[in-house]
Amino acid sequence: MATELTPVSPGVVRVSWSPELQAEGLGPSVEAVRGALVRGFEAGNQRVEALVDPDDEAAQRIATFSGLMREGVARSVESGFDRIVYARLADDTPVDDPIGFRRLLNSFLPRKRAISQMLIRDTQERVLLCQLTYKKDWDLPGGVVEVGESPQLAVGREVEEELGLKLDTGRLVLTDWLPAWGGWDDAVCLVFDGGTHAPELVEQIVRQKREIKSARFCTVEEVHELCADFTARRIVSALINLTDTPGPGYTESGRG
């Protein structure tokens, strides 16, 4: 049989298709898999899923064009082979509806992590740095932008949560792309102006002890001593962009 529906649990079946069907091309394969989805739901199942080899691009296209939404990657211990999990629920919005089509696209299009940081200075031209509990080098205050959250709101939230400071978030001064590093995927770091304050601002800090060991204003020389090199470059680039003759508004690892 070109396609097969295998029961997985009550209300859940798994669709698979033969190599021979896949060899016929995208059109016939998609038509057959779509037919299997209809049969699966007509039989009373609430979920039809498929497990696809990450190296099989043709099978991934078949799953997507059939209306199966990508849910993630199931890592395997026993077989040693990871599988991409695709699925469709009985009450999902039809793909021919604009909302359903956008949801399908959203399930597999790339998503990039965003980080928001705040550049806070004092009247002695020093920068507020945080000593973090989870890494050796120091960094600007800030954190990861939550799903559906504005980066500008995110940095204000992070500064308040980590340091107990309620500061106005100013303009964006730098967009810095961070390549994949040390187990992290790549990300975009957005640095916002946190304004200039009296040195006594540090006395108002209430640390979130789970993440922040300490925080203090540091000179540019101390920035280079305490921060990772790419962080130091980012901070210097952001500082330059506060002047009347700004540097590049976009950098990669702090390099313009």
Instruction: Identify whether residues 141 and 208 lie together within a single domain.
Output: yes
Give the pLDDT score at 126.
Answer: 98
Do 95 and 118 share a domain, yes or no?
no
- How many structural domains are present in the chain? 2
**Mapped to the 3 state alphabet, what secondary structure does the chain carry?**
CCEEEEEEECCEEEEEECHHHHHCCHHHHHHHHHHHHHHHHHCCCCEEEEEECCCCHHHHHHHHHCCCEEEEEECCCCCCCCEEEEEEECCCCCCCCHHHHHHHHHHHCCCCEEEEEEEEEECCCCEEEEEECCCCCEECCEEECCCCCCHHHHHHHHHHHHHCCCCCCCCEEEEEEECCECCECCEEEEEEEEEEECHHHHHHCCCCCCCEEEEEEECHHHHHHHECHHHHHHHHHHHHCCCCCCCCCEEECCEC
10 Å CB burial of residue 20 (0-12, 13-18, 19+) is exposed
In this structure, the answer to whether residues 119 and 239 fall within a common structural domain is: yes
**Cα–Cα–Cα angle for 55, 59, 62, rounded to 5 degrees:** 150
Q: Which of 56, 75, 108 marks a domain boundary?
A: 108
**CATH code for the domain of 225:** 3.90.79.10
> Alpha-carbon torsion 201, 205, 211, 216, what sign?
positive
Q: What was the pLDDT predicted at 80?
A: 72
Q: At what angle do helices 57-65 and 26-42 cross, to 10 degrees?
A: 50
The pLDDT value given to residue 79: 64
Residues in the chain: 256
Out of 46, 75, 108, pick the residue that ends a domain.
Answer: 108
Specify the CATH number for the domain of residue 71: 3.40.630.30
**Based on the domain organization, do 137 and 99 belong to the same domain?**
no
Whether 133 and 83 share a structural domain: no
How confident is the prediction along the chain (256 residues), in pLDDT tens digits per residue? 699 999 999 999 999 999 999 999 999 999 999 999 999 999 999 999 999 999 999 999 999 999 999 999 999 877 678 999 999 999 999 999 999 999 999 999 988 999 999 999 999 999 999 999 988 999 999 999 999 999 999 999 999 999 999 999 999 999 999 999 888 899 999 999 999 999 999 999 999 999 999 999 999 999 999 999 999 999 999 999 998 888 889 999 999 8
- Tell me the two tokens of residue 256: 């313009």
Give the pLDDT score at 247.
84
Alpha carbon 237 to its chain centroid, in Å, reads 24
User: Is residue 8 domain-shared with residue 50, that is, in the same domain?
Assistant: yes
Which of the listed residues 85, 108, 131 is the one where a domain comes to its end? 108
Examine the domain organization and report whether 97 and 122 are in the same domain: no
Domain that holds residue 155: 113-252
Burial class (CB in 10 A: 0-12, 13-18, 19+), 126: middle
Question: Are 124 and 187 part of one and the same domain?
Answer: yes
- Contact yes or no for 112/147 (Cβ under 8 A): no
pTM confidence score: 0.84
Q: Which is nearest to 2 in space by CA: 48, 34, 45, 41?
A: 34
* Residues 120, 241 share a domain: yes
The pair phi, psi for residue 113, each rounded to 5°, is -70, 140
Q: Do residues 193 and 145 share a domain?
A: yes
Same domain, 176 and 194: yes
* One domain for residues 144 and 206: yes
Whether the Cβ atoms of residue 16 and residue 50 lie closer than 8 Å to each other? yes
